Structure 1
Amino acid sequence: MDRYIADTSAVLDGTLKEAVVSGRVRGTLFLLSEMVEYFISLARQGDGIGIVGVEELKDLYEVVDKLGLSDFVKIETVSLNRKVDPEELNIYARRFAKENGCIYITSDEVARDAARLQGVEVLYLGKTREVLTLERFFGPEVMSVHLKEGLPPLGKVGRPGNWRIVQLSSEPLSRKQLEIVVRELIAEASKLSPRTKIEIRRPHSLIIQHKEYRVVVVFPPVSERLEITATKPVVRKKIEDYGLPPKVLERLEKSAEGILVAGAPGAGKTTFAQALAEFYLSKGKIVKTIESPRDMVLPPAITQISKNLATSEEIHDLLLLSRPDYTIFDEMRDTADFQLYVDLRLAGVGMVGIVHATSPIDAIQRFIRRVELGMIPSIIDTVIFMKDGEVRKVYALSMVVKVPAGMREEDLARPVILVKDFITDEVEYEIYVFGEETFVVPVKRGEAVAMGPSRRVYSMVVSALKRYVPPHEIKLEERDGVIVVRVPEEYLGVVLSRGVTKLEKIRRKLSVDFRIEPR
């Protein structure tokens, strides 16, 4: 009878089990014990590849037993009796096949070709899957699908800002069904195809980019059940589709080099950034991206760099040496991301950073305390705020030396960052340092922003309440000789319970009266 040895790819994508059941494999089937231990070790760490590998091996033994195939297929594990790098398991499997006259089983094209070059007989089980099981859940206008063990599949249907949750099937999903989805994705990624990549691999979770689909897989115990969430862009826009005023387009093309695209999750930030990247490409610019994961759908001329597969230092060097005109930084999350943006911008690289923010000023505030205030206009010159898939606000930043709004004394002049509505040219915020504090002060017309009889009062009130209320949320105005302190309603309780004592000290010291009101 024939003798076979299988590699990791044939185990992971389930084709080995299918070949045994269908009768394509008959005889002795060898499995490297080092491969088995590798899958077990990964599974104990919660690694998705290990979990799938162990499940497939269990299923293989079960089908041989339950279908009465033990007379036709004998499974044996063999040890190499040496420490093996997991990356070299398939190399040793091919070597074992050559030395022992075995047929090498694989579903990996590269491994197949390598075995044939070495004179090893190959049983190639690779399949070309044009459509994966996951893709079948995506019907017209389905933005995302949410698959969870024991529950019916759900989908978000519609467009950003106008969607609804629908049940895609009445049948609950079993763990086996979800494992098939994961197995297919891992098998596609193992082929080193550019259309499927494992972007992030952590204990108990995987993030995979398959074509335009971003797939997040979470295993127990991080989630209480196996869960798969997949999203895809349903809207592909050009920059012209946003109806931007000509002066905004001119700024983006000719002068904006430190851009932030801000908004809440699902607001359309990435879609706009894709349109902006293609806009710059159409103007003859060299464009690259930094992504985590790489889920932007872009022309091949735009190089997409994975933040997960390279260090910040490596990305810094790559971009400085290749000198792109613009770099799109998708989803800046932590201090390291912001620092990379700052370093590249100060080195002269045009940057477009995508950040989560509930208001456009919040995007700017994420840089405060991370860099010196005076450097911010050199780093950020334009902020674009997205909501419901549309551009809702465009800010321009500049620095001047002036007396801040609300101050009267000329000797209080200082460097002030002006945050202007680029469309109306009205100043909406001023950012400056007073004492040891950085203030973000709204000055838009129509807002009650009078700061009381002196700047000293404002500074002392903000210092007293900053533990309870973000400084930029505190508004002061003077009415009939009383300083009215206005804070958002969600902070009113803590100010009344804890802040009143501190305001009373200021009242006695300055001989002023306070009243606290919700905004």
Structure 2
Amino acid sequence: MKTIIPDTSAVIIGAVSKIIEKENFDYPEIIVPEAVVCELEHQANADRREGINGLNELQKLQQLQEEGEISVSFKGKRPTNYDIKYAKSGEIDALIRDLARSEFGTLLTNDKVQAETAKAQGIPVYYYEQKYIEKTLTISKFFDDETMSVHLKENVCPMAKKGTPGHIKFIKLSDEVFNHSMLQELIDEIIDKSRSDSKTYLESVKEGSFVVQSREYRISIARPPFSEAIEITAVRPVADINLDEYHLSSKLMDRINNNAEGILISGSPGAGKSTFVQAIAKYYSGKLNKIVKTMESPRDLQLPDEITQYAPLEGSMENTADVLLLVRPDYTIYDELRKNHDFNIFADMRLAGVGMIGVVHATRPIDAIQRISSRVELGVIPSIVDTSIYIEDGEVKSVYETKMTVKVPSGMKEADLARPVIEVRDFETGELKNEIYTYGEQTIVMDLDLVNSPSNSEDKSSVDIIAEKEILRRIKRFLPKKAKVDVEVISPERANIYIPDDLVPKIIGKNGKRIAEIEEKIGISLGVEVIEDSYDKTPFEIDIIHTKKQLILDLGRENGKSNFDILIGGEYLFTATTSKKGEIRIRKGIDLSDYIIEAIEMGLEITAVRK
């Protein structure tokens, strides 16, 4: 090999200098493609270690040239924006192969596909295979049998969470302070392992952030500009528990075995949700012989080989769901449900007939159902979620079931207020815990413990408070923004609206049509009571627009056709009536406009107050 043309992969791993050191070449010529330099520069600018390693390799080659060992030159075309955009399709690799062909050289690569493509085109190839050496990650030395997570940060001593869910301690591992270079070495080790270990995956790569799943470790890396300093957080499950060890009731076990098709497992972070999910997945797959799959990002559940774990396909869980619907599993575990599209995918798969188990962060048992109730139609909730299991301190604390019925919601008395209601009951006792229903345009999740609380016998009930807010929201659509209006629910059948005399027609409407429409939508009879004044008479600052001939005092369209006093520095100047647009126009050149211009120049505040 008299002429060697290395590609990016070969330069990054230092293959050129290693071959020269190994082989007895007679002053070989090394031609580095400009495309390689461009790619390395881009990676180094993005603070990616491989780019820096590649540039260091090129500097090493320059040193060998100065020592008279080799000849180094840079040739070829720099990649265009088109080449960079389609780099994954092989455009930059094609530029490197074209240079190797034109220079009659040998292509040096660590990329198997690049090597096979070059052979197919008749280009001489030296495939440098880098053998993987199994290494244990350095960060694993901080873990023992009780360690749940390890937290490393620049200029901070290493910390760890130890214990079991509900009994966690945050302790200092050593007095040694980690500096930038020490953490960078750990990051390089983790990234290198993701390229060579089949059980280590780069789950997420963003500017300043990496998420790596390496066997049982989920490692999150943050670095500037995303964080102010380098931080590494590694998490590992501390328990591997079978479902039998949770000592679930026979009633719940019967539900899991036969009827539960839409399960939500909720709890706060560190409560033991993942451990319970792993136990139930192994139970379905092992004892019940069900086909179980998972949808995870990252894939951090520790499951047997029989259960396939899926990541977002091409960055989208929707694509993953499309594949799973073709695979037809008996149960799919969705870990974790957070964003709208997560809940929509969960609902879509459940309604398609797939048994679903979703994991949700929640601080109360009802929170998991409440989060999905705001994202799907009310009537399909029991078809999507039939069982909700709340985990706390590693134990099953509450189990809820959902059912649809038509009735008058608790706290309301009128029979004509009956509507579809989702009842959330304690699975073990049958006690009604919550009701979910629509009130106007809102979805209400009513806590029955509050409605039935003795304190509500003297104060307003939760139903009354919600009703007042909904009525106020509806009537404010027809009133000026600064209008003072109040609503009071005086009985389950009637509420009063308190409003000034001049605004009563806006609420009543022609022949009483408007208030009748509001009553029909709210489901409560409305009375109108007149109050003396509805406007805020606090002075407010106004906008002043200069034109060639006029000064325009803009008080806002909501203040149209109203009388205002204009003040300068709190002192009365004049009174005027605004136009329909809420404007007062003053011709320039008269004393009034001169006073205002002079006040602006002096920095005095110009305000208006309603008469």
Larger Rg: 2
Amino acid at match of 1:267: A
Structure 1 residues 27-426: aligned runs within 5 Å = 29-44=30-45, 46=46, 51-60=48-57, 70-72=67-69, 76-80=73-77, 83=80, 84=83, 85-87=86-88, 88=90, 89=92, 100-102=104-106, 104=108, 106=110, 120-191=125-196, 193-282=197-286, 283-307=288-312, 309-426=314-431
- Per chain length, whose mean CA-contact separation is higher, i.e. which structure has more relative contact order (CA < 8 Å, sep 6+)? 1
TM-score by length of 1: 0.78
Structure 1 unaligned spans of 5+: 468-500, 512-519
Closer, same or farther: CA 93–250 of 1 in aligned 2, 3 Å: farther
Q: CA deviation at 1:351?
A: 0.7
Q: CA deviation at 1:322?
A: 1.6
Closer, same or farther: CA 454–124 of 1 in aligned 2, 3 Å: closer
Structure 1 residues 369-518: aligned runs within 5 Å = 369-444=374-449, 448=453, 459-464=463-468, 509=496
Q: CA deviation at 1:445?
A: 9.7
Q: CA deviation at 1:444?
A: 4.4
Kindly tell me the number of residue pairs found equivalent between the two proteins.
471
Provide the rounded CA distance (Å) in 2 between the counterparts of 1:95 and 1:391.
64
* SS in structure 1 of the partner of residue 336 of structure 2: coil
Q: CA deviation at 1:327?
A: 0.7
Counterpart contact for 2:4–2:107, Cα < 8 Å:
yes
Q: CA deviation at 1:413?
A: 2.9
Which residue pairs with 1:493 in the alignment?
none
Q: CA deviation at 1:466?
A: 8.0
Q: CA deviation at 1:15?
A: 5.3
Q: CA deviation at 1:439?
A: 2.3
Closer, same or farther: CA 103–372 of 1 in aligned 2, 3 Å: closer
* SS in structure 2 of the partner of residue 415 of structure 1: strand
Counterpart contact for 1:427–1:444, Cα < 8 Å:
no
Superposition RMSD on alpha carbons, in Å?
3.8
Counterpart contact for 2:468–2:487, Cα < 8 Å:
no
Amino acid at match of 1:243: H
TM-score by length of 2: 0.67
* SS in structure 1 of the partner of residue 251 of structure 2: helix
* SS in structure 2 of the partner of residue 405 of structure 1: coil
Counterpart contact for 1:452–1:458, Cα < 8 Å:
no
Residues 480-518 of structure 1 show CA distances to partners (whole Å, capped at 9, x for unaligned) of: xxxxxxxxxxxxxxxxxxxxx97775579399xxxxxxx
Counterpart contact for 2:107–2:125, Cα < 8 Å:
yes
Structure 2 unaligned spans of 5+: 472-483, 499-611
Provide the rounded CA distance (Å) in 1 between the counterparts of 2:348 and 2:376.
11
Q: Percent identity?
A: 37
Provide the rounded CA distance (Å) in 2 between the counterparts of 1:325 and 1:410.
43
Q: CA deviation at 1:450?
A: 7.8
Amino acid at match of 1:509: N
Provide the rounded CA distance (Å) in 1 between the counterparts of 2:282 and 2:298.
19
Provide the rounded CA distance (Å) in 1 between the counterparts of 2:190 and 2:373.
41
Which residue pairs with 1:478 in the alignment?
none
Residues 160-205 of structure 1 show CA distances to partners (whole Å, capped at 9, x for unaligned) of: 33222333343333333333333333333334x5301111122222
Q: CA deviation at 1:359?
A: 0.8
Pick which of 273-282 and 127-136 moved more: 127-136
